[in-house]
């Protein structure tokens, strides 16, 4: 395996380092102050976000996640995704590389009709709108996609959608213009052919954003929402691919997307470790700096081990996707979704501990990063589902 970056990726990475130092990190307190003044329940977009997007685009740091657009392989993009993870709220969005838009753009790029691409993919790639992916439901265990109960019923030249979703990221953002909704088109089909995906404009009658759910008390600007679809009618041409293709589409969007998520988690862990080491060197207790205490040294060393192990596994996965395709990397794709968030949670937790009371405050980004990393162990499939998949493949391999 060769993890060397292409010349294009090396240039983009150097440019991104400069962009982060000169623009993103200084924008973090500006963003937080604006949101605090706007109020806890506000989902308006701080103006500094558009400033960052304009600067990123000027530097050529735009849509880097999509190989056919950004010119980077999955392996090339991985270290850039890691770097954006150091500022998970601002950096991915500044580069037009934030979820759920990235996955939705990949879906439209791979499976969208020319009309669907023109109406939705082009403005998404241009950063003029945002989108949501509506799969998870409150009334069923959505970790098993076969349970999805939202109905998508053909009625003449239309489809009619009824159902209730939640944890729909981005749905409260005023820029959200479209949902990709997953639901049942044929309840009697085999389990993996029951589901379909369909495009639903945000302003369609019957679409109701009920509430935005906080994560560990944090109310993200874009919102993670409960959404109700009541007799929502869209033209039949809104269906993505064909009836029964929902599960296939979901699997296709997961491979590169998991690499992006996991590398951003590693970026959070790296920043947490950096903050931990600085705090340990500056803080004096019991006659010397904390960095001189054996227990703190062990926390630092364990954190470095966890980060390096997780990073190598994710890079291996990216290399497999590039060289053999996502199907050949299924085991690794499941593995990184467990390993990377787990490592990030462990490292951030140690950093919080070394910071003491400051670690759970908003004076440092650790508490917010912990909320993001801990939630990753649930969204996009909980750890238990991926461990189940890993165990089944390992058992089958030795059978």
Whether 105 is in a domain gets the answer no
Which of these, 277, 243, 268, 249, lies nearest to 345 by C-alpha position?
Answer: 268
Secondary element (H or E) of residue 254: helix 246-282
DSSP three-state, residue 296: helix
Average pLDDT over residues 327-336: 94
**Are residues 257 and 358 located together in one domain of the fold?**
yes
**Are residues 263 and 358 located together in one domain of the fold?**
yes
**Are residues 300 and 175 located together in one domain of the fold?**
no
Which residues is 197 bridged to in the sheet? 182, 240
Whether 2 is in a domain gets the answer no
**Chain-wide mean pLDDT for the chain?**
96
Whether 52 is in a domain gets the answer yes
Whether 1 is in a domain gets the answer no
Q: pLDDT tier at 216 (50, 70, 90 boundaries)?
A: very high
The pLDDT, as a whole number, for residue 203 is: 97
End-to-end Cα spacing for the chain = 28
The pLDDT, as a whole number, for residue 139 is: 93
The pLDDT, as a whole number, for residue 145 is: 84
DSSP three-state, residue 163: strand
Asked if the model's pLDDT at residue 144 lies above 90, the reply is no
**Are residues 251 and 304 located together in one domain of the fold?**
yes
The pLDDT, as a whole number, for residue 224 is: 97
The count of structural domains within the chain is: 3
For 207, the domain range is: 128-242
Average pLDDT over residues 345-369: 97
Whether 104 is in a domain gets the answer no
36-40, 105-109, 256-260: which is most confident:
105-109
pLDDT digits (tens, 9 = 90+) for 184-204: 999 999 989 999 999 999 999
**Are residues 262 and 383 located together in one domain of the fold?**
yes
CA distances from 248 to 55, 182, 240 (A): 37, 12, 11
pLDDT digits (tens, 9 = 90+) for 66-95: 999 999 999 999 999 999 999 999 999 999
**Are residues 366 and 386 located together in one domain of the fold?**
yes
Boundary-marking domain end, from 69, 90, 123: 123
Q: pLDDT tier at 307 (50, 70, 90 boundaries)?
A: very high
**Are residues 132 and 114 located together in one domain of the fold?**
no
Average pLDDT over residues 319-324: 96
pLDDT digits (tens, 9 = 90+) for 224-255: 999 999 999 999 999 999 999 999 999 888 77
Whether 355 is in a domain gets the answer yes
Q: Is residue 100 reached through a cis peptide bond, with omega within 30 degrees of 0 on the bond before it?
A: yes
pLDDT digits (tens, 9 = 90+) for 112-139: 999 999 999 999 999 999 999 999 999 9
């Amino acid at each position: 395996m060769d993890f060397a970056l292409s010349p294009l990726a090396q240039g983009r990475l150097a440019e991104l380092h400069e962009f982060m130092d000169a623009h993103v990190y200084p924008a973090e307190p500006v963003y937080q102050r604006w949101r605090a003044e706007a109020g806890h329940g506000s989902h308006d977009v701080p103006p500094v976000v558009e400033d960052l997007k304009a600067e990123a685009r000027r530097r050529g740091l735009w849509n880097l996640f999509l190989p056919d657009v950004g010119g980077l392989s999955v392996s090339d993009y991985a270290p850039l995704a890691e770097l954006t993870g150091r500022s998970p709220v601002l950096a991915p969005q500044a580069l037009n590389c934030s979820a759920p838009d990235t996955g939705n753009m990949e879906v439209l790029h791979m499976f969208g009709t020319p009309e669907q691409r023109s109406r939705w993919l082009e403005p998404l790639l241009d950063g003029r709108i945002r989108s949501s992916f509506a799969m998870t439901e409150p009334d069923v265990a959505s970790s098993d996609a076969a349970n999805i109960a939202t109905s998508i019923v053909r009625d003449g030249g239309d489809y009619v959608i009824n159902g209730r979703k939640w944890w729909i990221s981005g749905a409260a953002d005023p820029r959200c213009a479209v949902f990709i909704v997953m639901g049942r088109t044929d309840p009697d089909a085999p389990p993996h052919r029951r589901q379909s995906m369909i495009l639903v404009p945000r302003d369609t009658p019957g679409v109701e954003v009920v509430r935005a759910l906080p994560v560990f008390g944090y109310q993200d600007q874009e919102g993670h929402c409960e959404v109700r679809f009541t007799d929502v009618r869209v033209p039949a041409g809104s269906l993505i691919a064909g009836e029964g293709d929902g599960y296939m589409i979901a699997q296709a969007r997961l491979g590169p997307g998991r690499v992006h998520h996991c590398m951003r988690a590693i970026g959070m862990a790296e920043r947490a470790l950096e903050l931990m080491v600085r705090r340990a060197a500056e803080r004096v207790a019991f006659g010397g700096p904390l960095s001189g205490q054996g227990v703190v040294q062990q926390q630092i060393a364990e954190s470095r081990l966890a980060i390096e192990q997780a990073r190598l596994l994710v890079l291996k996965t990216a290399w497999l996707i590039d060289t053999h395709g996502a199907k050949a990397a299924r085991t690794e794709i499941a593995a990184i979704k467990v390993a990377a968030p787990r490592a990030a949670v462990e490292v951030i937790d140690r950093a919080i501990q070394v910071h003491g009371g400051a670690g759970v405050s908003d004076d440092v980004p650790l508490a917010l990063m912990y909320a993001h990393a801990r939630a990753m162990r649930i969204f996009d499939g909980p750890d238990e589902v991926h461990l189940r998949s890993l165990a089944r493949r390992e058992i089958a391999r030795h059978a």
